[in-house]
Amino acid sequence: FAHIHHAACTEMFVATGSLLLLALLAQTIENASPFAISSSSSPKRKKVSNQGKAAGGFAKKPDDTVPTSHTRDESPSTKNLINFLLQWKSEGLGPAEVGFDTSTGIRGMYATQPFKKNDIVCKIPSDVALALVDPSIDTGETMNIAYGAVNFLQWYQNNEQARGMWSAYLDTLPTTEAHFDPTPDFYSDEEIEQLEFPMIVNQAKERKKQIAALAESENIPFDELQFAAWLVASRSFAIKISVDDPLVRDGATSTSEKAIRVLLPFLDMINHSSDSANAELHLIDPEKDEAWFAIRAVRPIKKGKEITISYGASGVESSLGLLMNYGFVPDENRIDALLLRKGGENCIESLDGWSTTLEEDEAQLAQATGNMVNVLKLRKKLKLSYSSEE
């Protein structure tokens, strides 16, 4: 980026519309984020745009399409967002459309044409991405979520000027009444204890504690900050970047990393798949003013197929992390067995360490309601994963 300004105040930060994180990405390109990066000038990869084009110049094969399993999202807020992003030269918002699964009602993104491996499905310019964390502040991952929630409220949601600028996007975000899957920090103390696995029990308690402390120090209602933290955890993308360490001598390579959180309009409507994601987050030309956040196919995607990515800063996430940050427990997740095999003090390393049996959890799950559904689904999922260890 030729001109990236680190604003000294909220108003300047919001007005720029630029991302300091991308300046850092440009400076540390060799050690940057876990998602793919390419350059439009690189001879190694041809940049592909599918806006208004068919995916390939040959006649479609019969297996290029799957039966339609969604209905298009025709809501005014989604249409307004798409029009807003098109004004910023975003691409692929037709070949990839937002819709609702006809069997579950869950919102997601679907291919309206076939894509080949490495095709760019859709992309938005970095100018419409919303940074949530100032990388100059030394915070841990959990504090990034809590502080990111404060920044979200102060920089965007409750900032009159910024709210007007970003309303097309902010109006599409979930509310407590729609598209909201509570994470464990919304559970009662008893429900948190019922999770039983020390790692997620401790994380839920710590997040609630940090949100409460920030709510008091920043004079923000607890419920408002807690939901903002949920938005940051579930909707933002955490990007790990290497940063300059002042303690490292000149000429040496710093191994210090920070997690930068950023909201990506439209792209954040893509759902997760633990074991069979067909796309990934991709950064194009981070060293240029016109950088792009894109979704790239990692395997062929048929017309009508849901587009999915793998959540998490490293592109992989255990069921514990998915429940803690996104509020759901996946049906399948190979990472769980690896987590259990690694063990550690915050892990239950065998079935004998649980207070209930798998059969007891299954019986309770059949009668469960509210948050206890995911509590028991997680316990069942983890217990089944012990048998998957190699």
Transcribe 272-309 into DSSP letters: E-SS---EEEEEE-TTSSS-EEEEEESS-B-BTPEEEE
Query: What pLDDT sits at residue 371?
Result: 97
For residue 176, the one-letter residue type is: T
DSSP string across 123-171: EEEGGG-EE---TTS---HHHHHHHHHHHHIIIIIT-HHHHHHHHHHHT
Average pLDDT of span 327-355: 92
Nearest to 329 by CA among 168, 197, 172, 160: 197
CA distance 149 to 231: 8
More confident residue, 359 or 135: 359
**Predicted pLDDT of residue 118:** 96
Query: Which pLDDT does position 10 carry in this prediction?
Result: 39
> What pLDDT score was predicted for residue 59?
44
Q: What percent of the chain has pLDDT over 70?
A: 75
Q: Which single residue is written with the structure tokens 């979200």?
A: 152
> Does pLDDT of 9 surpass 50?
no
Spell out a b/e string for 115-131, using b for 16 or more CB atoms within 10 Å of the CB, else e. beebbbbbbbbbebbbb
Q: Which helix (H) or strand (E) holds 259?
A: strand 257-263
Summarize pLDDT for 11-37 with one digit per residue, the tens. 434 334 444 444 444 444 333 344 455
- Radius of gyration for the alpha carbons in the chain, expressed in angstroms and rounded: 21
pLDDT at 388: 64
CA 376 – CA 379 distance, rounded (Å): 5
Query: Tokens in use for 309?
Result: 């990515």
Kindly report, residue by residue over 227-279, the tens digit of the pLDDT: 999 999 999 997 766 555 554 445 555 456 666 889 999 999 999 999 899 99
Other beta carbons less than 10 A from residue 83's beta carbon: 11
Mean pLDDT, all residues of the chain = 83
Q: What is the pLDDT of residue 299?
A: 96
Residue 298: CB atoms within 10 A of its CB come to 16
Structure tokens at 138: 């030394």
Task: Pick the closest to residue 24 from 41, 1, 52, 56 (CA basis).
Answer: 1
Report how far apart, in Å, the C-alpha atoms of 172 and of each of 5, 73, 98, 269 are.
28, 11, 11, 9
pLDDT confidence bin for 134, thresholds 50/70/90? confident
Q: What is the structure's pLDDT at 270?
A: 97
Please determine, for residue 389, whether its predicted confidence score (pLDDT) is greater than 70.
Answer: no
Strands 306-309 and 271-272: what pairing? parallel
Could you tell me what percent of the chain has a pLDDT over 90? 64
Residue 150 pLDDT > 60: yes
Question: Around Cβ 348, how many Cβ atoms within 10 Å?
Answer: 19
pTM: 0.82
Q: Tell me which of 53-62, 98-107, 378-387 is least confident.
A: 53-62
> Which range, of 258-267, 324-333, 377-386, averages the lowest pLDDT?
258-267
Give just the sign of the alpha carbon dihedral 270, 271, 275, 278. negative
**330, 181 in Cβ contact below 8 A?**
no
Q: If we measure between CA atoms, which residue out of 18, 21, 2, 3 comes closest to residue 241? A: 21
